[in-house]
Chains A and B, each alone.
Chain A
Amino acid sequence: MLSILKGPKFEQILQKAKQNWVEFTPTKQDVSTAGIDSSFNNTRFQGIELWATTAVSIKSNGEVLIDLHDSGLGSDIDLSKIASKMEIEACEKTVDSVDLVLMDGSLHSQFMTRQSSLDAMVVKTIKKRDNVIFIAKTSNTKKQFENLGSLAGDIFYYNHITKGAGFSKIFVEKKYGADKVISSTFVRLSDSTPIIKLEFLGGNRDNDEIKSIMNKLYKSSVGGYPYALKLAHNNCKISDKELAKMVSLLGLSNEIGSREVLS
């Protein structure tokens, strides 16, 4: 399997990745950090659907800063948009309360896939204190080595060149417009942990800033991943069980077609 991924220019890509990689061992810097995540779930009843969305902003110490919920009955609702909007709302309410706001996911996908109507809101929120970072555990982008004929995502090659802490040279993406420039870097916070992808709004980032951010993230990370984001994920999940509770609360338990949520 690996031999397929390697391709003819594999060594050349690795060489390039090595050149891009900056070895850096972060030291813990005490800052207040909040993680933000959202989730949604739905179930259908005879042509109508019950839906619920949440967004949570939570600090590393477990303090919930923002806890947003929405739910309703309807049809063909774009739940991802509602969740995304709530996420941005939670972010907006958090930026002033903490030193660093960590959003779960990718700024790229925010600009690419979600409703463009939210973009202005996103940009405004991030720019307010310039303390918002998007963090993704996985990344499919093939930007940095595509001219060398890369087959796998960029993260794959960085994962191959080193197991130590450090970060990749900042990659700037300007295709979304002047006010939506994205700087990104792949980061490993401590030895032998998975690489994560950091994305920032704006193109004026330098290595020192990345190092400073790594120091701040390292303070409250477990296994190379910020704990606040893990907490946010765990706190905003809407399980089928919880949806079943809602069904019961709304008195829909006896409706035909509601059984499957309880199973």
Chain B
Amino acid sequence: MNTGFVIGESKPTFVTAITSRPLSVGEYIKIDSDEGEILGLVEKSSVSSAAFADVKNFDEAFESTEIAEINKRDKTYTAHIGILGFLENLRKGQSIIPAVPPIPGTPISQPTKEDLEAIFSPQKEGWVKIGNLLREKSIEAKINLDKIVARHLGILAMTGMGKSNLVSLITKQIGKLKGTVIIFDYHNDYTTLNIPRINVIDAKINPRLLDADQLSEVLEIRDGANVQQRVLRMAFTKQVKESKEFWKKLETEVEFIVNSEDKKIKEIRTSAYRVQDIIEEAQRRFEDILDPDMGDPISFIKEGRTNILNISELSEKQANVALAFYLQQLLKDRKDASIVKHGRSKRERNYKFDSPIFVIIEEAHVFIPKDHDTSAKYWAAKIAREGRKFGLGLGIVSQRPRSVDLNVLSQLGSFAIMKIIQEDDQRQIAAATESTSRELIAQLTSLNVGDAVLVGQWTNLPSLVHVEEVKEKIMGADQSAVNAWANAEKMNEIAVESTQGLVKKDLLLD
């Protein structure tokens, strides 16, 4: 049955249609062209009423309601439709845009359930359910996990719109396939994720494995304190790194600088005193974080598991150093594994992971910032560029896409974009995702919690999806302050009651 007709000027990638009913943004339609059936996505939809067109005041609006009701020609339903390709090819996963635009007057209709299922719910290996199409709830929306590991993924949304739910869902699905996932959990959101084969690791830093600059960051020596950094560089010798008593040896080395009678070194004595204090303080403050005896941090990551690396205890700088370290080591490990697998090296190489790894970086704007360089950013960018060759996938999650480095963002092959209001964020997304049309970006403000626009290689087509809720995810939801206060009050009452009961009256009298 005809839903409408193509009108006005049509293009191979875009048509406008007048329809018999208002179409929803995200709805799919079929254009019956001479070359074959074409699938389109409604990117913008508008309704106008002739009766209300030039209404100037309330009374006129009121009178127009009656007119609009009786005039069946009163409403104009206009849909702006992005052309996705020939339906026949899309069923095979190929998007072929028609060379000739659909001729105005061409009828449009609704695709059948089978049409959509073939595209959005392929019965192929590697495709897993992520939710349902937002406008066709009976159709399962599936994503291709291979593509996100091979070509990376970006999850971008305002806070509270379902980013961590989506991360949990993807993680759960990879977990079912016994894949390896590593989540750098900056807000301790995933440690309570109740899924099988989960491995929670409190991220620690082995200072021996760092270079002097990284150690300086970890110890929180100020950025501009060049002399203190120089002292640390001098003291952080190979012997220190290899010493059984790491901190003691490091302190000894600084002590040596403090006591040195060398004229040049004497000049930096004051700074050396300060470094001494910093090292002493760091041992106390970061006792749980900096562990020279922890061994190789990578060894705590288990293959075939969901590894939650809890970095919530680390300061921003420490987390940055830790992340850079892990990313560097993971890339090296995967490179070595790949080289061995393909027999390209005569040198013996040790590696830990046999199969691909998917790494997820939460709060990516902190670690991969747009405006300055960090070591985590360097390694994330490297993985974004080279990771696919070695089976190391990168997932970037951020609520502030405008602050994430565009070079890294544009390397990502797939995106889940949820509700985003900030125009700067939308612009950054448009710049990073060439396939996302301006109309689709404009719809981001109207999405609800759990709704997402999926674009890129992990789907056959751009789609508007309602992401399934992960029941196993306990943390991350907004906390109810009101409930918490009420519970706290209850607990206080209980506490008072029970303590009073324990006090013997006789004693009180005494």
Contacts and interface: CB of A to CB of B under 8 A. Distances in A.
Interface of A: 60-62, 190-193, 220-223, 227, 231, 234
Contacts of A234: 50
Given A227-B51, A234-B50, A222 B63 contact: yes
A192 B57 CA distance: 11
- The residue in A193, A221, A227 that gathers the most chain B C-beta atoms within 10 A of its C-beta is A227
A222 B67 contact: yes
Contacts of A220: 66-67, 70
10 contacts: A60-B70, A62-B70, A62-B71, A191-B59, A220-B66, A222-B51, A222-B60, A223-B56, A223-B59, A227-B67
B468 interface: no
Nearest to B56: A223
B64 A222 contact: yes
Contacts of B72: 61-62
Interface in B44-85: 50-51, 55-57, 59-60, 63-64, 66-67, 70-74
A223 B67 contact: no
A9 B213 CA distance: 96
Given A220-B66, A220-B70, 10 more contacts: A60-B67, A60-B70, A62-B70, A62-B72, A62-B74, A223-B55, A223-B57, A223-B59, A231-B71, A234-B50
Contacts of A193: 59
Contacts, number: 36
Contacts of B64: 222
B77 to A, nearest CB: 15
A190 B60 CA distance: 10
Contact of B73 (A62, A190, A192, A223): A62
A229 to B, nearest CB: 12
A60 B63 CA distance: 13
Q: What are the 10 tightest A-B residue pairs by CB atom distance, in nearest-first order?
A: A62-B71, A62-B73, A223-B60, A61-B70, A222-B63, A227-B67, A61-B71, A222-B64, A222-B60, A62-B72
Contacts of A227: 51, 67
Nearest to B70: A61
A242 to B, nearest CB: 15
B59 A190 contact: yes
A35 to B, nearest CB: 12
Nearest to A234: B50
Nearest to B57: A223
B144 to A, nearest CB: 48
B70 A223 contact: no
Nearest to A192: B59
A11 B73 CA distance: 48
A62 B49 CA distance: 12
A239 to B, nearest CB: 16
B20 to A, nearest CB: 15
- The residue in B64, B66, B74 that gathers the most chain A C-beta atoms within 10 A of its C-beta is B66
Interface of B: 50-51, 55-57, 59-60, 63-64, 66-67, 70-74
A193 B63 CA distance: 12
A234 B50 CA distance: 10
Contacts of B51: 222, 227
Nearest to A223: B60
Contacts of A222: 51, 55, 60, 63-64, 67
- The residue in B55, B57, B59, B63 that gathers the most chain A C-beta atoms within 10 A of its C-beta is B63
A192 B63 CA distance: 14
Contacts of B63: 221-223
A60 B68 CA distance: 10
A6 B484 CA distance: 74
Contacts of A223: 55-57, 59-60, 63
A60 B66 CA distance: 10
- The residue in A60, A222, A223, A231 that gathers the most chain B C-beta atoms within 10 A of its C-beta is A222
Nearest to A235: B73
A149 B55 CA distance: 37
A115 B369 CA distance: 80
Nearest to B59: A190
Contacts of B70: 60-62, 220
A242 B158 CA distance: 48
A179 B51 CA distance: 38
Contacts of B55: 222-223
Contacts of B67: 60, 220, 222, 227
Contacts of A61: 70-72
A13 to B, nearest CB: 29
A219 to B, nearest CB: 8
- The residue in B50, B66, B67, B74 that gathers the most chain A C-beta atoms within 10 A of its C-beta is B67
Contacts of B74: 62
Contacts of B50: 231, 234
Nearest to B67: A227
B384 to A, nearest CB: 51
A62 B67 CA distance: 9
B234 to A, nearest CB: 80
A60 B56 contact: no
Contacts of A191: 59
- The residue in B55, B59, B71 that gathers the most chain A C-beta atoms within 10 A of its C-beta is B71
Nearest to A193: B59
A223 B62 CA distance: 10
A190 B55 CA distance: 15
A191 B72 CA distance: 28
A163 to B, nearest CB: 12
Nearest to A191: B59
Nearest to B73: A62
B272 to A, nearest CB: 82
A20 to B, nearest CB: 26
A166 B31 CA distance: 55
A21 to B, nearest CB: 21
- The residue in A61, A192, A221 that gathers the most chain B C-beta atoms within 10 A of its C-beta is A61
Given A220-B66, A222-B51, A227-B51, A60 B71 contact: yes
Contacts of A60: 67, 70-71
A192 B70 CA distance: 25
B71 to A, nearest CB: 4
A227 B71 CA distance: 10
B420 to A, nearest CB: 39
Contacts of B73: 62
A193 B59 CA distance: 10
A193 B70 CA distance: 23
A192 B74 CA distance: 26
A61 B73 CA distance: 8
Nearest to B65: A222
Contacts of B60: 222-223
A133 B73 CA distance: 25
A24 B393 CA distance: 78
